[in-house]
Amino acid sequence: MIPSQSDRVQTFRKIVNDQDGNDTTNLLFVPVNDGGVSGGGARWSLLLVDRRVPTAPVAYHYDSVGSRNSTVAEQLAARLGSRLQPARMARQQNGHDCGVYVVDATRALIGRLAQGERPDKEPLHLEHLIADRPAQRLYYGLYSCGRVIRFAFRRSNPQSPLTFR
C-alpha cells in the first residue's frame, strides 16, 4: 500500500517535531534509494539536509558512484523544500558498496558536526572517506548477505569503522 500525501506529511512531522509539535530538527540524514526509477532499487546515496536557516534549507548530496542518484536526490530535496548542493564523496571501487558508503558517510558527518564543523561555513566533503565493509560487519554484527547473526558483539574500541587519509 502506497501512503497518501497526508500520511507522508504526518510521518515527516513526527520526525522533525518535538512532543509539543514544534519543528526543532536542524539536520536530517536521509538515505536516498532509486527504487522509484524503472530498473532501480539497488542504488543508495545520502542527503544531509541542513535546516538551521528555515527559509533556505540546503540538502547536501553524497553519492559514492557520482551522479547516478542525482535525479532522485533532486526530487527528494525539492519535496523537503531544500536547495540541492552536491558534495564531494569518495568513489566506491565496486558495484555493491553504496550502502556501506552511506553508513560510513553518516558516521563521518556526525563526527565532524559534533566537532563543530558546519556545512554552511565550509562544505563537508568526504572525498577521503574509506568505507570499510568488514569493520561494519564486526561493528554492527551483520553477515554479508544482510542476515543478522549477532547483536551483542561490539568492538571494544568505540572508534568509527572508517579512516581518513
Query: Over 80: is that where the pLDDT of 151 sits?
Result: no
Q: Provide the b/e sequence for 115-149 (b: ≥16 CB within 10 Å).
A: eeeebeeeebebeebebbbebbbebeeeeeeeeee
Query: Over 80: is that where the pLDDT of 134 sits?
Result: no
Task: Report how far residue 31's alpha carbon sits from residue 99's, in angstroms, rounded to the nearest whole number.
Answer: 9
Q: What is the mean pLDDT of residues 7-22?
A: 77
Please give the mean pLDDT across all residues of the chain: 78
User: Is 39 or 64 the better-scoring residue by pLDDT?
Assistant: 64
Where do the structural domains in the chain lie, given as residue ranges?
Answer: 24-131
The string of pLDDT tens digits covering residues 67-99 is 888 999 999 899 888 999 989 999 998 888 888
pLDDT at 67: 82
Please choose, from the candidates 27, 33, 29, 86, the residue with its C-alpha nearest in 3D space to the C-alpha of residue 57.
27
Query: Over 60: is that where the pLDDT of 43 sits?
Result: yes
C-alpha distances in Å from residue 80, one per residue of 71, 110, 155: 14, 20, 36
pTM of the model: 0.74
Q: Which long-range contacts (CB under 8 A, 24 or more apart) does 32-36 make?
A: 32/61, 32/69, 32/72, 32/73, 32/76, 33/69, 33/72, 34/68, 34/69, 34/72, 36/72
Q: Which residues on neighbouring strands pair with residue 23, listed in sequence order?
A: 17
CATH of domain 24-131: 3.40.395.10
Q: What is the mean pLDDT of residues 118-139?
A: 81
DSSP class of 56: S
When pLDDT is cut at 50, 70 and 90, the band that residue 120 belongs to is: confident
pLDDT at 88: 94
Place of cell 519543528: 23
- Whether residue 16 contacts residue 24, with contact meaning beta carbons closer than 8 Å, is answered with yes
pLDDT at 162: 35
